[in-house]
Amino acid sequence: MNDQAWRLLLDDEVEAGFGLAADETLARRVGCGESPPTLRLYSYRSHCALVGRFQNVEQELHLDFCREHGIAVNRRPTGGGAIIMGADQLGVALTVPGRDRHAYGGARQLMERFSSGLRQALEGLGIDAAFRRKNDLEIEGRKIAGLGIYRDRSGGLLFHASLLVDLDVALMLQVLRIPFEKIADKDIASVASRTRTLRSILGADLPFDRVRGQVAEGYASAFDIALAPGEWSASEAEAIAALERSRYGTGEWVFQRTEVPDLLGASRVRTPGGLLEVRATLAGKLIKAVYLSGDFFAPEASVADLEGSLRWHSGDPAAIRATLAPVYARWGQCLEALPLETLVAAILQATRQAQPPAEPDTVPDPSSDPYGCFVTPGTQHA
């Protein structure tokens, strides 16, 4: 892909605003030829909640909880859903030139191509992962990494991934607005079963630095390049600090609002295998996420596969049916307790009943930080 060596940057304990400003700054500078192609592997100092580029913060996060527990809030330049990051999630940022808007294909093709380094890294750890859905790496239908892509006006490309070395699911459910009326132990266990972490596979004592080293090796192998360890230049540090002050440390950026409200719906039906409960989150007419629960019997991985196939999906009945049919074919008798047509009907019932969630007591004022939730700019790498 590039005859020259890529720079390897390792960052530990970064603040939310710095982490985001650094990624975007690298994308712009690489596009302008001011910085070399760079693979940046980093971790956050403490937990932070990062929403996607086109989301409303108050619809995605429990802001009062974030404020009370010192969890920083910010907005990524990449699309996708809200995520929680911390010391046990490895941030992967690859920035390369791409002045031709068709240089490497569309967003999905880019993510699949750039995620090959992660797949090879996991293979080196004895794990077989696949690129699935629109922007996930999965192991047996369970998410282990979320992916994003951003193209700067300069032509620079930023591929971003959050790799789950470990994950505090209970905390995540307190931070993210997920349609559970109450968060019970069974809900925590159910959501935990929908994801995989490296430590859940390879052991709780898996060193973070071993994972990071494996990811570096994976990218060097996948793209047939050399990685040269480096550091931030003075001009890069200055540009990052300026962008952190002007964008990622401002309420205008963090609390900007879209005009499409989220809707929440639920349904409950009896199936041959037991009770099925469906909870759905919609953005307008688009299904953002579906959560399945009940007392039926089915492998957790098959349920995760069903849920994952409907993320950011059309609400059209024929489209839902067409998407679910291959999942049923994949799992065969494992899903006998959840007949396809029964599940489709339950999903449609939930979407028809969807209503806007209760408005928060305070709607964020973009000109300020009413929740005190994002990190004061200029505190990182001063």
Give all domains of the chain, ordered by start, each with its CATH number. Answer: 6-254 (3.30.930.10), 262-352 (3.30.390.50)
Burial of 126: CB neighbours in 10 Å, binned 0-12, 13-18, 19+: exposed
Whole-angstrom distance, CA of residue 372 vs CA of residue 382: 21
Q: What is the pLDDT of residues 154-204, one digit of tens each?
A: 889 999 999 999 999 889 989 988 765 545 555 566 666 778 899 999 999
Per-residue pLDDT at 369 exceeds 70 = no
DSSP letter, residue 360: P
Tell me which of 28-42, 86-100, 216-230, 249-263 is least confident.
249-263
Q: Note the helical H segments in the chain.
A: 16-32, 57-60, 63-68, 107-114, 116-124, 169-175, 185-192, 198-202, 208-223, 234-243, 251-254, 300-309, 317-331, 340-352
What lies within 8 Å, CB to CB, of 128 at 6+ separation is 122, 139
Cα–Cα–Cα angle for 323, 329, 332, rounded to 5 degrees? 135
Contact 15, 72 (CB under 8 A): yes
**In the predicted structure, residue 311 carries a pLDDT above the cut 50:** yes
Sheet bearing 274-283, strands edge to edge: 262-271, 274-283, 286-294, 313-314
| Pick from 224, 330, 310: nearest CA to 5 | 224
- Of the two residues 302 and 345, the one the predictor is more confident about is 345
Contact criterion met (CB below 8 Å) for 305 and 331 = yes
Find the mean pLDDT for residues 357-374. 62
pLDDT of 60 > 70? The answer is yes
What pLDDT is attached to residue 363?
57
* Amino acid present at 381: H
Residue 136's nearest CA partner among 165, 163, 166, 172 is 163
- SS3 for 340? helix
pLDDT, tens digit, for every residue of 229-259? 999 999 999 999 999 999 999 998 999 876 6
- Report the alpha-carbon distance of residue 71 to residue 68 in Å, rounded: 8
Asked whether the predicted pLDDT for residue 362 surpasses 60, the reply is no
Write down the pLDDT at residue 151. Answer: 84
